[in-house]
Amino acid sequence: MQFPDDDNGQLLQEIAEAGIDLTQFHLVDFFILFEQKPQAESFIKAISEDELAPLTQLQQCKDTGVWEVITSVKMVPDHQLLGQTEQYLESIANAHEGYGDGWGILAQE
């Protein structure tokens, strides 16, 4: 399988090489960072009303104090769709003073 030569393509290749079937649905976690908890909470409120991404978690990084919202989306991890979803979530995050910090898929046990 060929992957585009960019960050998402490289990550998809690594995931495929780890044995994850990229033709199946997975929960893809998108990471959005905020300096302040109220902005993170307002993002969660906005995104929880969206059918695309109703699953969110909020946690604070112990080292940096930055607030991280993990937004889980059930999808087939297609390169183009991942990029579009990242852009969409970041557009909402930007309105709440947040920014995207990538995505990942947890390996199934």
Over its length of 109 residues, how does the chain's per-residue pLDDT go in tens digits?
A: 778 999 999 999 999 999 999 999 999 999 999 999 999 999 999 888 777 766 899 999 888 899 999 999 999 999 999 999 999 999 999 999 999 999 999 765 4
Residue 41 φ then ψ, to 5°: -65, -35
- List, in sequence order, every residue forming a beta bridge with 30; answer none if it has no partner: 71, 103
The CATH class given to the 25-99 domain equals alpha beta
Task: Cite the DSSP H helix spans in the chain.
Answer: 7-17, 37-48, 79-94
Q: CA 95, 98, 99, 105 torsion: positive or negative? A: negative
pTM for the full predicted model: 0.90
- Extended beta strands in the chain, E state: 26-34, 55-60, 67-75, 98-105
Residue 72 φ then ψ, to 5°: -100, 130
